[in-house]
Structure 1
């Protein structure tokens, strides 16, 4: 059966005076007036006004429509709660010597924890601690070393009242981090790398981020290919991973998805995905976006090195916010929070009824 994927488009500033002609995206601050009907493998698509969309829905697309327009529940992380009706910043804390943009910058133990506290003070709602680089060409780290890197940092941040997640593919690292106080698992393999990972997440009743990838970090940038279109293939792949996670006993309400910018994708693939990001809300899960300092920015600006990509990172963060991404992972917390607060001010003004 040929599937149809719904992509919200035709965004408007506010819904006032447009009754029946616009819809609210995922319970957030964005409203859209049109829907693009995308059929995987077909080069053309169709635009349908929101006012006419219900007449075009079958059972499958009706489920997508419900998901696209439904509010997302609060993200509960132990005693902390994060609202998902607006974009939130997640601070990336790499406790590794070889990450692509900041390897070794934060050191380990106390120094890394202080960096995490600093991100929280700058406005990050969550700190994502990782002890293994998964940049293109990287190789796996022994799980003992990874635990030694992340466990003391997670423990310190959690003890200080900071909402903390662990960025890992390994079940034993997940267990150690969760025991130390992490409240969320961010797995770039979408629970495919370690056969015990889904079991660990389900047993802990922890929220989990399932990220799309193609291939392994060692080889993923060799020759990525998406014959049916990158947006459609990522959408369908994530749909399958959500179903697998639910089958493994993970509460669907605890699942978030990430399109995996840069993980087995060319620059063109990344840009197409970012342009079509809003379609992923049709999966019914909160959307996580991470393009901070990634190579696509350098490719578009004279091969700027990773530590000179702040402007591009903020631009992509704002693009994600405009398409309803709920969690935006960044290295530069202060600048991104400032940009999003200005963006939020613009949205609040647009959504204030005129009297």
Structure 2
């Protein structure tokens, strides 16, 4: 009998497991092992500080972000007083799982099948990877951290099977060093309908390798063809491909994260990927932390309502950022003409500074109210066409 079974060993599940065992709980961490999520791999300084990530996990430090418009306009945004850390999910996720195990979590390798309940407790039934046999773990609580289109959410949470998502695809390639449009110290974000008609493409350096990919809501989009075009445009078409990965990325948090009994969701399973940017690692780890807080509170008090703490704590700190980013995505991602205006807006120094201050610190910056007012007027002007999209 464990206190908690965590289903899913990505950044969210591993964080939840580690937090719980460090607070004195017994935890089983069930993970399929070997699955690597397509991900640009960017993490902000706040994640590195909050979750004690050692420098050995940072495969590159990015000091410039380049925005590229449908017409090829390029806006380079310097990252002042810091950097964006890059991680390789193949190694980063395993580092987090190992750290949870070293803290005291029991690692179990297998595939979640279902949840059963009887007088002995709540049982997670899974297929063991090594033997193929059906087995089960027993606990008082379950955290579902098994990604977008979560099977735990489908089985246990009202509305959990209806989360909207983007399909993301990327290719990890061997990095050739500086070449053509590729700079190993710069992240490129491509807003071009020929790459993605409703999201964006990316070229993110990972030191000795690089992640090149894109995402789209539209089923008719050929993800591999679009990624090939992005590689060609970046001068990386002939680089050796190390691996290819695809997976859904959720677009908005679920309305409910718990089943009112013994299950709470975390990370992508709860839908906590930032709109507009698609950033997920930081928010997944925060999601794991608040899910662990909610599970620990319910175990201590027995109060069902304590399970609601996960969603409340997350949205209290990050809800406003998600609302702003969601509004940006709805306003600017609908057409190439709008994306052109968005990249034009990014020329503005106030936009650049406030954007990266918010990214680095994971909160909206309130220290310069005049800058916010100026940006508000410029945003309206671009959206209404009062300012030419060709104006710098």
TM-score for the superposition, normalised by structure 2: 0.22
Bigger fraction of residues in strand: 2
Q: TM-score, normalised by structure 1?
A: 0.24
